[in-house]
Structure 1
Amino acid sequence: MIPPNASLVKYDNPVLVSRNTDKKTPRARALKVSPGPSQAAGPVPNPPGKQKLSPVDAKAAQQTDEILNSILPPREWQESGQLWVQQVSSTPATRLDVVNLQEELDRRLQQRQARETGICPVRRELYSQCFDELIRQVTINCAERGLLLLRVRDEIRMTIAAYQTLYESSVAFGMRKALWAEQGKADMEKKISDLEEEKRDLEKQVNELKGKCDQIEKRAQEQRMVEEKKHTEEMQFLKRTNQQLKTQLEGIIAPKK
């Protein structure tokens, strides 16, 4: 593992944690803690200008440290086979610390080229670190207020996670719909092509049937004209025959008178 990246949250100096390898059983290994390079070995003297805390104040400070560790767990990493632990700082923040925090936030936003609007993971990460630092500062002065801010932070994260899950499911649903639409489009295009081909075949059949109908009507008309001509000729022949018979009949009857 590599050391954690720099965070806007204020941490104490890292502490080296080395394992005691005298015992072979892993469960029997004891953790041996040695201070980092910036910390001196032995008891830490009280800072100048500060008095020794009373038992009540010491207990309150210990509870505050426990709350801070529960809100912002210590960071751990390995370097050169050695385990380092870094706990969140329990030093109260001053007005200058808040101003420096704001300037550092603006500097990192500009340095990492975070977007000013829209969805930006970099901006979200930096603002999350800034909010954690504010929770740390508030918790040192008032643990209850810090725990309430922790609830607000967790609710915001849960809401963002829900929106992210909804967004991812919506994107997946949209992709499935797009794939189905693309597949349906291909099927529809094939169906349209088949229907157009069927339409051309039906139009061809219609044209053929129209040609046959025209031919049938033409033959029927020609046959009708032939039959009418034949009928007219027969009528004329019958009329002439009738006239001849009538004339002969009159010629036969006339002399008897």
Structure 2
Amino acid sequence: MAAPPESLLRYCPPVLLSRRGDTASAPGQAPRSPAGLSSAQQPQELLNAILPPREWEEAQKRWVQEVSAAPSTRRDVLQLQERLDRQLQQRQARETGLCPVRRELYTQCFDELIRQTTVSCAERGLLLLRVRDELRLTLAAYQALYESSVAFGVRKALLAEQGKAHLEKRIAELEEEKEELEKQVSEEKAKCEAIERQETERREIEEKKHSEEVLFLKRTNQQLKAQLECIIAAKN
């Protein structure tokens, strides 16, 4: 494992901890919660508890690097701000939205401010530590909520796609059924028109036949009437 990358947090020069196969002579301390820390501890011990030393292996040697306990001046704070701006630009951190690079750099900057404050005032440093841990918990909760909402949205989108495919299939079936029904309606309409034509023709034929019969009966009646009149006239 190579040496850790450059950090905005100020560290002491690295110290050789052990060689591979040797017993570690000065193992790093595990981080403790703010409730287990006390301002009565030595500055370096307190800093190691707040900001644990970083360890790595290089060329079969194990190195450890503790956070610096050196006090900071106003110039150090200005240099920290310059380094932060430079790192944001060099690593192309996004100015808005979620950006892991920007979050990492601001976390390092906040840890450096905690270090500087702890050196000058242990109580203030411990209070800032509580603030940092609370912010981390809040960010973790928001991140979990965001990931959960994204997963929920993906599931809903998949269900919507499945429902869309089902609806598209149903629409196609209904359109096919509609075309079939329209075809049946056209056929029935054609049958009705044919029946109407047949009935119209039949009615016209019946009316013509009836008219002819009426006319024949009228003629027959006139003939019989004329014959009757002639018979009556002959008897007189």
Q: Does 1:11 align with 2:11?
A: yes
Alignment of 1:1-257 (within 5 A): 1-18=1-18, 30-33=23-26, 62-257=41-236
Q: 1:132 to 1:60 in 2, by over 3 A?
A: closer
Question: How far apart, in 2, do the equivalents of 1:234 and 1:170 lie?
Answer: 91
Question: How far apart, in 2, do the equivalents of 1:20 and 1:178 lie?
Answer: 53
| 8 Å CA contact 1:20, 1:32 repeated in 2 | no
C-alpha deviation, 1:145, in angstroms? 0.8
Q: What TM-score do the two structures reach when normalised by structure 2?
A: 0.84
C-alpha deviation, 1:223, in angstroms? 0.6
SS at match of 2:212: helix
Q: 1:33 to 1:207 in 2, by over 3 A?
A: closer
Deviations 1:110-169 (A, max 9, x none): 222222333322121111101100001111121111111011111222222222222222
- Choose 247-256 or 102-111, whichever is displaced more: 247-256
C-alpha deviation, 1:30, in angstroms? 4.6
Question: How far apart, in 2, do the equivalents of 1:60 and 1:125 lie?
Answer: 27
Q: 1:248 to 1:3 in 2, by over 3 A?
A: same
Q: What TM-score do the two structures reach when normalised by structure 1?
A: 0.78
Question: How far apart, in 2, do the equivalents of 1:198 and 1:20 lie?
Answer: 80
RMSD (Å), alpha carbons: 2.6
Return 5+ residue gaps in structure 1 as ranges. 22-28, 35-58
| 8 Å CA contact 1:114, 1:122 repeated in 2 | yes
SS at match of 1:90: coil
Q: 1:96 to 1:255 in 2, by over 3 A?
A: closer
Question: How far apart, in 1, do the equivalents of 2:58 and 2:19 lie?
Answer: 14
Return 5+ residue gaps in structure 2 as ranges. 28-37
- Choose 245-254 or 196-205, whichever is displaced more: 245-254
C-alpha deviation, 1:190, in angstroms? 2.5
Q: 1:255 to 1:61 in 2, by over 3 A?
A: closer
Aligned pairs, number: 226
Q: Find the counterpart in structure 1 of residue 30 from structure 2.
A: none
